[in-house]
Amino acid sequence: EVQVLESGGGLVQPGGSLRLSCAASGFTFNTYDMSWVRQAPGKGLEWVSAIGNSNTATTYADSVKGRFTISRDNSKNSLYLQMNSLRADDTAMYYCARARVTAWDFDYWGQGTLVTVSS
């Protein structure tokens, strides 16, 4: 069974940092592209960042470029999101999502991890 499980969320002060993790199982992780998508409370979905299956290609939404870094460790079946210089408008549920083969839409999602940026 395909599973992705996020962790690492929590309460952080503005300007602070947080590292999210996503543990994948039930599929050959190193053959799938992965992404992070977030959802502010009561709002819609916002794509955040994506990474290719071999860790060589990454891309970011303008809203997080220069502050967030996506990475993966295929030996650990894990995806990460390093978030620096956090702002109040980064407050959201962060979802780890698996991209469909050769296509950037998402067939499996985790339950999400909540990040709250507040003083």
Partner 1 sequence: DIVLTQSPAILSLSPGETATLSCRASQSVSSSSAWYQQKPGQPPRLLIYDASNRASGVPARFSGSGSGTDFTLTITSLEPEDFAVYYCQQRSSWPLTFGGGTKVEIK
DSSP code, position 78: E
Per rule CB under 8 A, is residue 111 in the interface with partner 1? yes
Q: DSSP secondary structure string, 32-77?
A: S-EEEEEE-TTS-EEEEEEE-TTS--EEE-TTTTTTEEEEEEGGGT
**What is the smallest separation between the CB atom of 75 and partner 1, expressed in angstroms?**
26
* Contact window for partner 1 (CB under 8 A) among 7-15, 24-32, 74-82, 98-106: 98-106
Per rule CB under 8 A, is residue 100 in the interface with partner 1? yes
Length of the chain, please?
A: 119
Per rule CB under 8 A, is residue 23 in the interface with partner 1? no
Per rule CB under 8 A, is residue 74 in the interface with partner 1? no
